[in-house]
Amino acid sequence: MDLAILKNGDIKDKYLFEKTLGQGSFGEVKKLKNKTTGEELAVKIINKSDMQQEDLLALQTEVEILSQIDHPNVVKLFEVWEDKLKFFMVMEIMTGGELFDRIVEKDHYSEKEAADTIRPIVDAIRYCHKMGVAHRDLKPENLLYATRDPHSIIKISDFGLAKIYDSSLMTTQCGTPSYVAPEVLEGKGYDEAVDFWSIGIILYILLCGFPPFYDDDNDKLFELIAKAKVEFPSPYWDNISDPAKDLIRKLLNADPKSRLKSDAILAHPWMVGDVTPRKALPNITDKIREYNAKKKFKKVGTLAMALSRWNTAFKSGDK
């Protein structure tokens, strides 16, 4: 792990542990307070007993990546502590909630707000890719607001599946089923363009309230993703602008080489507001609320588990 952020001693000497913010398969996230400065932070607590060797390697990669990333739209990692039983990742605290949870609270929502929401995410991914880092698990649950303020900054979190890549293709089939790119399913190798596919899925949902590819059966879902046939069903898309649909088509392109990259996304007329109108979306919050509730009710397993039946050529080694 990065020695610059690896701390020795007892973390409780420096920090006061407060309420639990969340739970996961890895352990839990708690609120921290610096005993000297009063600064509030979050700590991700990881139980060593729950970790396999591959989990430890993934954690080391995540720490290595986050210790090098310094972007306003990426959740910051400050320190890592270790004792005999646990790892403690001390991070920036995010109290504003997940992307979709925030949208459903709004009285008014528009295409312009969707563009303003996606823009900093694309900029952060552009930065990560320049650093040679692919996130590989972009989804609404990993897009968090810093505070409850209406104008709060949004940040990318959870780099647990992120990968430092070079000119060779990645092959590990990972991510979350609904947001995974078709080339990941093929198992023949992929590059950082998978992140732009995930952004396309998120943008599609932001504009209509449901995903472009959906089925309760993962096998059927993967078939839909593999075909990559993007449709804009009536009446939900009737009032969405054509430039918005154009951007989505160019993001959800089955050919990763033809898929729009960061600079082209940020320069797209819909993103920069060169086209009018970018319309109000009067029913979108209700649709997203419905999708969000369904998504949270259905606990999604890992992509590897979901693919085990669908793709017999599944490769487990991370390359």
Please tell me the total count of domains within the chain: 2
Statement to judge: residues 112 and 86 lie in one domain? no
Question: Which neighbouring-strand residues pair with 15?
Answer: 34
DSSP character for 110? B
Query: Which domain CATH number covers 81?
Result: 3.30.200.20
Statement to judge: residues 293 and 261 lie in one domain? yes
Domain that holds residue 227: 97-310
Statement to judge: residues 34 and 145 lie in one domain? no
Statement to judge: residues 160 and 282 lie in one domain? yes
Answer with the one of 59, 91, 123 that is the final residue of a domain.
91
Tell me if the bond preceding 277 is cis, omega within 30° of 0.
Answer: yes
pTM (2 decimals)? 0.88
Statement to judge: residues 175 and 259 lie in one domain? yes
Query: Is 101 among the catalytic positions?
Result: no
Q: Is 134 a member of any domain?
A: yes
Q: Is 260 a member of any domain?
A: yes
Statement to judge: residues 225 and 299 lie in one domain? yes
273, 182 in Cβ contact below 8 A? no
Q: Which DSSP helix (H) or strand (E) runs through 20?
A: strand 15-24
Question: Is residue 312 packed enough to be buried (19+ CB in 10 Å), middle (13-18) or exposed (0-12)?
Answer: exposed
Q: Which residue from 40, 28, 18, 45 is spatially nearest to 94, judged by alpha carbons?
A: 40
48, 86 in Cβ contact below 8 A? yes
Statement to judge: residues 57 and 187 lie in one domain? no
Answer with the one of 74, 91, 108 that is the final residue of a domain.
91
Statement to judge: residues 138 and 63 lie in one domain? no
Answer with the one of 91, 120, 149 that is the final residue of a domain.
91
Q: Is 37 a member of any domain?
A: yes
Q: Is 316 a member of any domain?
A: no
Statement to judge: residues 78 and 108 lie in one domain? no
- Per-residue confidence of the chain (319 residues) as pLDDT tens digits? 555 677 888 999 999 999 998 887 677 999 999 999 999 999 999 998 888 888 888 889 999 999 999 999 999 999 999 998 999 999 999 999 999 888 888 767 889 989 999 999 999 999 999 999 999 999 999 999 999 998 899 999 999 899 999 989 999 888 889 999 999 999 889 999 999 999 999 999 999 989 999 988 888 999 999 999 999 999 889 889 999 999 999 999 999 999 999 999 999 999 998 765 566 677 777 777 787 776 655 554 555 555 554 454 333 445 5
Statement to judge: residues 75 and 146 lie in one domain? no
Tell me if the bond preceding 235 is cis, omega within 30° of 0.
Answer: yes
Query: Which domain CATH number covers 264?
Result: 1.10.510.10
* pLDDT computed for residue 22 by the predictor: 84
What is the C-alpha separation between 198 and 140, in angstroms, rounded? 10
Catalytic residue among 2, 83, 137, 195: 137
* pLDDT computed for residue 316 by the predictor: 40
Q: Is 270 a member of any domain?
A: yes
Statement to judge: residues 168 and 262 lie in one domain? yes
Q: Is 165 a member of any domain?
A: yes
Q: Is 315 a member of any domain?
A: no
Q: Is 241 a member of any domain?
A: yes
Statement to judge: residues 52 and 107 lie in one domain? no
